[in-house]
Structure 1
């Protein structure tokens, strides 16, 4: 099993697109890959709360590229912090490992961007976890919630964030491939902000699949030459 590490903010719509496309690429290719989702909370990076005036505009633009990922935002679903969501993902990792954390991470993103769930409160996150378990029956809902309540999952998130400060992270998302290379926002880097709107100049929706094949494929074992 190959592991690809992804550092991102849970409220980043660019990351939601990248994560979705990488999961789709894995499914299409039948690749034996885990996506190790690691927290890069922008509220810690920037020292301020989530800029929803930016997030909502980005999400509206990206909905044209991945319409099934996005829905309407409401004022009531705008969490003030990402930390509870990251803690829940850390709890899933403690209880069941990387794949469980990946699945919970994906469903948290989708619930926020598509369904408008407040992912800063327990009731919202519990609902997300229960819905995730319907799609992924391996998820142990009560065990994960128990770890969230009783284990130092906030410390796990902060330890990861401290580790991220030593990495060459350009922004959310940043993908680190098994071959030692890294990609920022694969397939969506060619954009700029013009009069308050991100203008995507070119997009490459096949980039995650191509990069997965190029940079995450297991090395081919070379057989020794026969002796004479």
Structure 2
């Protein structure tokens, strides 16, 4: 069944691990920064959290591909302030740059299926796809590339994922989540929710634009308060 809830559905978790619902687009650099920060906090505190990925598909919301010119300047601004992301400028031929992120987003949703791997596997695949895009300049819109990336995910059954994608599984979830994304409850990518009422959009980021992106403006990434992730992980594990 497609996701219709805003917050995490605890039944999708593994064991007693806490869950955060993370609404985003894989092609959104700000969302990928938030995930990088959250995963670093989990590792530093030795406190794992499951990320329940929900689709905020920018190209469906905006009715156009996300412009490479905007992604490029956002990646540059973020990587300059947070070099630990390991991001690089797009280095592959321009014609291989993804014009859509929907196949990758659908694959993450399909990975939630029990026979593919479940919620933890979906989180692992999402992280691997973002790494392939932001660090390795791989065309993650291509089916074969998605499956190659999936091979690096030890929690995921790649053959089961391939079979699920061949049946179109994952797409229904994306469109169900799109309907929620178009409501005022979701402010943008990323937007985080937890079962105990924590809600935050684009956490820790203080930024503005010199002019509208479509007029050639540049993002001013003025400050990043990364301690939001430590506070969230402690809250989920300790209730503090």
- Is 1:76–1:118's contact at 8 Å kept on the other side of the alignment? no
Q: 1:217 Cα deviation (Å)?
A: 3.1
| 1:118 counterpart residue number | 139
Q: Tell whether 2:108 aligns with 1:89.
A: yes
- Is 2:32–2:130's contact at 8 Å kept on the other side of the alignment? yes
Q: 1:5 Cα deviation (Å)?
A: 0.5
Q: After TM superposition, which residue ranges in structure 1, 4 or more long, deviate above 4 angstroms?
A: none
TM-score (norm 1): 0.87
1:145 to 135, 145, 162: 162
| 1:223 counterpart residue number | none
Residues 19-34 of structure 1 aligned to structure 2 (within 5 Å): 19-34=35-50
Please list the CA deviations of residues 34-53 of structure 1 after superposition, one character each: whole Å capped at 9, or x if unmatched.
Answer: 11111111011111111111
Q: 1:167 Cα deviation (Å)?
A: 5.4
| 1:128 counterpart residue number | 149
State the alpha-carbon separation in 2 of the partners of residues 51 and 149 from structure 1. 28
Q: Tell whether 2:71 aligns with 1:77.
A: no
Residues 1-228 of structure 1 aligned to structure 2 (within 5 Å): 1-64=17-80, 65-73=82-90, 74=92, 75-94=94-113, 95-131=116-152, 133=153, 137-166=154-183, 168-188=185-205, 190-195=206-211, 196-214=217-235, 216-217=236-237, 219=239
Structure 1 gaps of 5+ residues are 221-228
Structure 2 gaps of 5+ residues are 1-16, 212-216
Residue 32 of structure 2: SS of its match in structure 1?
Answer: helix
State the alpha-carbon separation in 2 of the partners of residues 117 and 105 from structure 1. 14
Q: 1:11 Cα deviation (Å)?
A: 0.2
| 1:224 counterpart residue number | none
- Is 2:106–2:171's contact at 8 Å kept on the other side of the alignment? yes
Count residues with an aligned counterpart: 214
Q: 1:151 Cα deviation (Å)?
A: 4.5
State the alpha-carbon separation in 2 of the partners of residues 84 and 32 from structure 1. 27
State the alpha-carbon separation in 2 of the partners of residues 183 and 219 from structure 1. 17
State the alpha-carbon separation in 2 of the partners of residues 149 and 26 from structure 1. 34
Residue 161 of structure 1: SS of its match in structure 2?
Answer: helix
